[in-house]
């Protein structure tokens, strides 16, 4: 239940619930597979057997500010911003705070 995670963040949109991307799907599959192999868990084996439906039940919870920071960092890299320059971090941080919400 998403409301049990952090109801305030879920409600105000600062915590986003997204489907898993390909990289995350592969990571989760690997973790479940390793768990099944190491523990002999019948439950984990069942999850792997019907992976297409299993993976759809997973949700990627991402703080909105994390996405904004990732985008700002990519843009800064594109613009060849040197983070050793005084004020560069503050500039990117301002963009992040403006871009969130």
What tens digit of pLDDT does each residue of 5-36 get?
666 666 676 787 888 889 999 999 999 999 99
Q: What is the pTM of this model?
A: 0.54
Beta-sheet strands, E only, within 2-56? 15-18
d(CA 66, CA 96): 9
Higher pLDDT, 6 or 3: 6
Region 39-65: mean pLDDT is 90
- For residues 16, 19, 21, 26, the Cα torsion angle rounded to the nearest 10 degrees is 120
46 vs 82 pLDDT, higher one? 46
Nearest to 99 by CA among 53, 66, 52, 77: 66
Q: Say how far apart CA 72 and CA 96 lie, in whole Å.
A: 6
Does residue 100 contact residue 64 with C-beta atoms inside 8 Å? yes
Higher pLDDT, 91 or 34: 34
């Amino acid at each position: 239940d998403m409301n049990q995670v952090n109801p305030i963040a879920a409600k105000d949109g600062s915590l986003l619930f997204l489907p898993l991307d390909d990289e995350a799907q592969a990571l989760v599959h690997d973790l479940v597979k390793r768990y099944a192999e190491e523990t002999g868990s019948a439950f984990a084996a069942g999850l792997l057997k019907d992976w297409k439906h299993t993976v759809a039940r997973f949700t990627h919870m991402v703080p909105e500010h994390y996405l904004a920071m990732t985008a700002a960092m990519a843009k800064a890299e594109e613009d060849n911003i040197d983070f050793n320059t005084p004020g560069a971090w503050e500039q990117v941080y301002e963009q992040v705070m403006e871009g969130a919400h």
